[in-house]
């Protein structure tokens, strides 16, 4: 990407990209910054600024062309080439992600699953390789996997992160407790509980 955009802007652009991606192909009309903003809970100006950040030549006659905008975002964010990702932890959550159909044509390829329990590995049916967790570092490195998803029990979170880091992973989506990683690794923590608590705080009686 030409110049690292502010993180909030990057997050919004990814949201917009996902939105455009889920738009039916048939939707030939143009889309305005106001509509985009409403969909992701932002103002039209913020959306325009985000788009302006990209400094892409976008035709903006009465709104944007969805396909063109999507392409511009993809180029800007480096989403053009598919990134290889793996999941560690094949419990309920891990399997749900493993089976999530949305990764098709989304620029992300889930190409391996890991679990500590070798019995489980044999029972699960999957089109992609499922391997024991002790092979994470080796396999990630060999297969040039750059992104990882952690969906293991809390007490295994840190060792999982360590193994991924050892394999040279670049980014981690962490569904468990916070872990520490080397500076070379970007990490995104996601927690339903945290989200629910944020909502609880936002909506308590006094608010």
Q: Which residues form the interface with DNA (CB under 7 A)?
A: 6-9, 32-34, 42-46, 48-49, 51-52, 58, 60-64
Rounded least distance, CB 61 to a second copy, Å: 25
Residue 111 binds what, of a second copy, DNA, none (CB under 5 to 8 Å, by partner type)?
A: none
DSSP H/E element including 185: none
Q: Please, are residues 87 and 100 in contact by the beta-carbon 8 Å criterion?
A: no
According to DSSP, residue 62 is labeled: T
Backbone angles phi, psi at 59, to 5 degrees: -70, 125
Specify the residue, 134 or 188, whose C-beta has the smaller distance to a second copy.
Answer: 188
What are the CA-CA distances from residue 51 to residues 9, 40, 42, 186 (Å)?
9, 14, 13, 24
Piece of 6-14, 64-72, 111-119, 128-136 that binds a second copy (CB under 8 A): 6-14
Count of residues for the chain?
Answer: 207
Nearer to a second copy by Cβ, of 20 and 136: the residue is 20
Which is closer to a second copy, CB of 123 or CB of 190? 190
User: Which part of the chain contacts a second copy (CB under 8 A), choosing from 37-45, 54-62, 117-125, 130-138?
Assistant: 37-45
- Least distance from C-beta 23 to DNA, angstroms? 15
Residue 73 φ/ψ, nearest 5 degrees: -65, -45
CA 23 distance to own-chain centroid: 18
Q: Which residues pair with 88 in a beta bridge?
A: 114, 150
Q: What are phi and psi of 93, to 5 degrees?
A: -65, -45
User: By CB under 8 A, what part of segment 39-98 binds a second copy?
Assistant: 39-41, 77-79, 83, 85, 91-93, 95-97
Regarding 178 and contact with a second copy (CB under 8 A), the answer is yes
Contact present, 174 and 110 (Cβ < 8 Å): no
Q: Does 194 bind a second copy (CB under 8 A)?
A: yes
Which of 63, 71, 107, 168 touches a second copy (CB under 8 A)?
Answer: 107
Q: Is 117 in the site for a second copy (CB under 8 A)?
A: no
Q: How far, CA to CA in Å, does 152 sit from each of 43, 45, 92, 97, 148?
A: 38, 40, 10, 13, 12
Binding site for a second copy (CB under 8 A): 1-2, 4, 10-11, 13-15, 17-19, 22, 38-41, 77-79, 83, 85, 91-93, 95-97, 99-100, 102-103, 106-108, 146-147, 149, 154, 170-173, 177-178, 180, 186-207
């Amino acid at each position: 990407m030409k110049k690292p955009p502010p993180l909030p802007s990057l997050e919004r652009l990814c949201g917009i990209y996902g939105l455009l991606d889920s738009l039916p192909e048939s939707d030939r009309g143009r889309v305005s910054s106001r509509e985009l903003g409403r969909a992701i809970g932002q103002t039209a100006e913020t959306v325009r600024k985000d788009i302006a950040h990209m400094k892409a030549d976008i035709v903006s006659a009465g709104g944007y062309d969805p396909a063109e905008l999507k392409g511009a975002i993809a180029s800007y964010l480096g989403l053009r080439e598919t990134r290889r990702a793996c999941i560690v932890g094949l419990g309920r959550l891990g399997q749900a992600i493993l089976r999530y159909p949305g990764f098709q044509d989304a620029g992300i390829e889930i190409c391996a699953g890991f679990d500590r329990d070798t019995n489980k590995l044999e029972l699960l049916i999957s089109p992609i390789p499922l391997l024991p967790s002790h092979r994470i570092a080796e396999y990630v490195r060999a297969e040039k996997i750059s992104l990882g998803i952690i969906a293991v029990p809390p007490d295994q979170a840190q060792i999982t992160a360590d193994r991924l880091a050892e394999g040279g992973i670049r980014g981690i989506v962490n569904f468990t407790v916070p872990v520490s990683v080397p500076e070379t690794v970007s990490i995104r923590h996601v927690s339903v509980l945290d989200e629910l608590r944020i909502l609880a705080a936002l909506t308590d009686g006094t608010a």
